Structure 1
Amino acid sequence: MNFASDNVTGASAPILDALVRANAGAMPAYGEDPLTASLTARFREVFEHPDLVVFPVATGTAANALALAAMVPPFGSCLCHAEAHVTTDECGAPEFYTHGAKLSPLPGTGGRIDPEALAAALAGRPLSVHRMPARALSLSQATEAGLVYAPEALARLCGIAHRHGLSVHMDGARLANAVARLGCRPAEITWRAGIDILSFGASKNGALAAEAIVVFRPDLAETIAHRRKRAGHLLAKGRLLAAQLHAYLADDHWLANAAWANRMAARLGTGLAALPGVRLAWPVEANEVFPILPGPLARRLREGGGAFYDWSSTSLPEGERVREDETLARLVTSFATQESEVEALLDLARQAG
């Protein structure tokens, strides 16, 4: 009953099979192989964009940091949500790879940036050599609270950013979950809404270790190849990254995995919310569930073998709070979560109540 993260699972069978096939024989190194060469065309098809450029990397941190480094100079700043992964969980990698640019946090319920707060922050920044100018906005899809941005909401935020001369980055570690939830085309919540660079996630949703920097504005791609090499993310056996991404996208495998994870999260959330004394901090929109649990229940679940994290309450809806005798928990499902695991945790919770 491990609901600590969608990183706790291994790789899905189609991706493992693809790796075995790609492992056979000899191919050119450092991304000069045919699998990597055909990856751009595959992404252009999926995102319906004729000019995008793709840079495979091994980790989401590398994707985010290198993407932001291509958008923000050392003397600039990047606006992001106060709980965004780029500012809370990457050990300063964006600042390191931008050579000192600053991440400027903004408020917003459920990890979503408030448009008014964004507009006010940009309007209130004096154009002075004494201040770091804003050069980028980073959005998370889905957010750290498991909520998704609809296309209209993204377009509004991107429009504000672009009017002030900012580029827009999307941390799409759980992009697949958002696409599955919204039932939209990937293009609708990326470049058509105004996203300039996407960190495309696969490792949380079936890949062994594969992410990609997807650049929708070719002018922003000019330095990424060199930045990736300098950062140690141009893999010698690049075909093994490309093989994972090809298998991930083939036959909508990425969306099937995400849809299953979302269904398991919805089932888990509905079951927990039905228990006495339990309420959900935010709606279940992707593959993360955030119940506010009575303290004794949280302890009983852990004692019974349930694994999950305590979570921050800083972006709760107005009027909601976590009392001293309660725990705000995060439970995450994945493509590999079994119905029996969900029911086992719910049975344990019912017994504890």
Structure 2
Amino acid sequence: MNFASDNTSAAAPEVMAALAAANEGYAMPYGRDPIMDRVRAALRETFEAPEAEVFLVATGTAANALSLAVLTDPWGAVFCHRNAHVEEDECGAPEFYTGGSKLVLVEGEHAKMTPETLRKAITLTGRSGVHNVQRGMVTITNATENGTVYSAAETQALCEVAKGFGLPVHLDGARFANAVVASNESPAELTWRAGVDVVSFGGTKNGCMGVEAVVIFDPARAWEFELRRKRGGHLFSKHRFLSAQMAAYLEDGLWLGLARAANAAAARLSAGIAAIPGAALTHPTEANAVFASFPRAGHRRAFEGGAAYYLWPFDQTLDGPGEEPLSCRMVASWSTTGADVDGLLALIRGRD
């Protein structure tokens, strides 16, 4: 019953099989392996973007930080939600790889910016000329850090604000597969057709061992990305092991099937928690993360019974009155089973 993160799950069997197959024989290094040709073609087809350039890295932090670096200057502002992953969980990597760009935090409920809050943040930036950081770019997280999903229309509305100020847009898609499944909209509709310039397309959280793709819809930016990837130490020599994962992930819609299973498990867990007396959802469950609040006694039973998840925020404690509510984050993965969900719910309720 591990709901700590989708990062805690194993790699999907299809991905492991592809890695084993890629380990046979020899292959050219640094992305010149033949599997990468298949990956590039598959992602162009997936995004309906035949001119897009595709690059692979091993971590989401690298995908995001390198993407931001090609879209803004060191003196530029990167507009993101206050709870965006680039703000909360990347140890200053965006600032490091951009050479000093400043993250400017935008408000909005459930970790979603609105056109109004984004426009206000951009308008208030750079008003004193050389004395301020300048308006640089916008980055959107989909699915968000609170488990919510931007529709294509919502993404387009944000992009229209950004483009009105002449700013490029990046999409952090570490859980993009979950967003696609939840929204029932195409990858193209959620990205370039809405105005997104670069997307970090996640694999690691959804069944891969460790691979993320950066899809750049403007080929003119590709060479700079290649240089930054190499200079930043993220160009793999034995690149075929990245390629093999992504190729298997994309084949026959595996990436969507894995995300569909994770989202379904989260929906089952969310419905079960909502039905418990004294429990409530603190954010809508739209992808594969459940944010909820229920009495401390239920948390104690869950942890004592072997469940893994996080109290959210972290500064809460299991010490105290049993009836007092504590909030938490639970994340389902592709491998979460119905038995996992039902077992956790039984512990929370206090039933065998």
1:124-139 superposed matches below 5 A: 124-125=124-125, 126=127, 128-139=129-140
Q: Deviation of residue 352 (structure 1)?
A: 6.3
User: How far, CA to CA, are the matches of 1:105 and 1:121 in structure 2?
Assistant: 8
Which runs of structure 1 show a deviation greater than 3 angstroms over 4 or more consecutive aligned residues?
none
Q: Is the 8 Å Cα contact of residues 79 and 122 (structure 2) preserved in structure 1? A: no
Q: Deviation of residue 290 (structure 1)?
A: 0.5
In structure 1, the partner of 2:161 is 160
Q: Is the 8 Å Cα contact of residues 300 and 352 (structure 1) preserved in structure 2? A: no
In structure 2, the partner of 1:204 is 205
In structure 1, the partner of 2:250 is 249
In structure 2, the partner of 1:214 is 215
In structure 2, the partner of 1:285 is 286
One-letter code aligned to 1:133:
Q
Q: Deviations over 1:91-125 (max 9, x none)?
A: 00000001111111111100001211111122233
In structure 2, the partner of 1:112 is 112
Q: Deviation of residue 127 (structure 1)?
A: 5.5
In structure 2, the partner of 1:54 is 54
Q: Deviations over 1:36-88 (max 9, x none)?
A: 13322111111101111011000000000000011111111100000100011
Q: Is the 8 Å Cα contact of residues 36 and 240 (structure 2) preserved in structure 1? A: yes
Q: Is the 8 Å Cα contact of residues 104 and 121 (structure 2) preserved in structure 1? A: no
Q: Deviations over 1:226-279 (max 9, x none)?
A: 111111111011011011101001100000000010000000000011001000
User: How far, CA to CA, are the matches of 2:102 and 2:351 in structure 1?
Assistant: 46
* 3-state SS in 2 of match to 1:297: helix
Q: Deviation of residue 310 (structure 1)?
A: 1.8
User: How far, CA to CA, are the matches of 2:142 and 2:170 in structure 1?
Assistant: 10
1:1-353 superposed matches below 5 A: 1-125=1-125, 126=127, 128-312=129-313, 325-351=324-350
In structure 2, the partner of 1:319 is none
Q: Is the 8 Å Cα contact of residues 69 and 94 (structure 2) preserved in structure 1? A: yes
User: How far, CA to CA, are the matches of 2:261 and 2:33 in structure 1?
Assistant: 33
Q: Is the 8 Å Cα contact of residues 298 and 349 (structure 2) preserved in structure 1? A: no
One-letter code aligned to 2:241:
L
Alignment length (residue pairs): 343
In structure 2, the partner of 1:316 is none
User: How far, CA to CA, are the matches of 1:147 and 1:155 in structure 2?
Assistant: 16
Task: Output the aligned Cα RMSD.
Answer: 1.4
User: How far, CA to CA, are the matches of 2:20 and 2:220 in structure 1?
Assistant: 36
Cα distance 1:300–1:229, how it changes in 2: closer, same or farther (>3 A)? same
Cα distance 1:201–1:110, how it changes in 2: closer, same or farther (>3 A)? same
Q: Is the 8 Å Cα contact of residues 311 and 328 (structure 1) preserved in structure 2? A: yes
One-letter code aligned to 1:103:
L
Q: Deviations over 1:127-158 (max 9, x none)?
A: 60111112110100000000000010000000
User: How far, CA to CA, are the matches of 2:296 and 2:135 in structure 1?
Assistant: 42
Q: Deviation of residue 300 (structure 1)?
A: 2.1
Q: Is the 8 Å Cα contact of residues 115 and 157 (structure 1) preserved in structure 2? A: yes
- The share of aligned pairs that are identical, in percent, is 47
User: How far, CA to CA, are the matches of 1:68 and 1:8 in structure 2?
Assistant: 27
User: How far, CA to CA, are the matches of 1:13 and 1:188 in structure 2?
Assistant: 30
Q: Deviations over 1:23-48 (max 9, x none)?
A: 10001111111111332211111110
Q: Unaligned regions of 5+ residues in structure 1, if any?
A: 314-323
Q: Deviation of residue 299 (structure 1)?
A: 2.1
Q: Deviations over 1:322-344 (max 9, x none)?
A: xx932110000011111111111
One-letter code aligned to 1:325:
E
Q: Deviations over 1:154-184 (max 9, x none)?
A: 0000000011011101100000001011111
TM-score scaled by length of structure 2: 0.95
* 3-state SS in 2 of match to 1:253: helix
User: How far, CA to CA, are the matches of 1:245 and 1:282 in structure 2?
Assistant: 31
One-letter code aligned to 1:46:
T
User: How far, CA to CA, are the matches of 1:293 and 1:117 in structure 2?
Assistant: 31
User: How far, CA to CA, are the matches of 2:45 and 2:154 in structure 1?
Assistant: 25
* 3-state SS in 2 of match to 1:209: coil
Q: Is the 8 Å Cα contact of residues 266 and 287 (structure 2) preserved in structure 1? A: yes
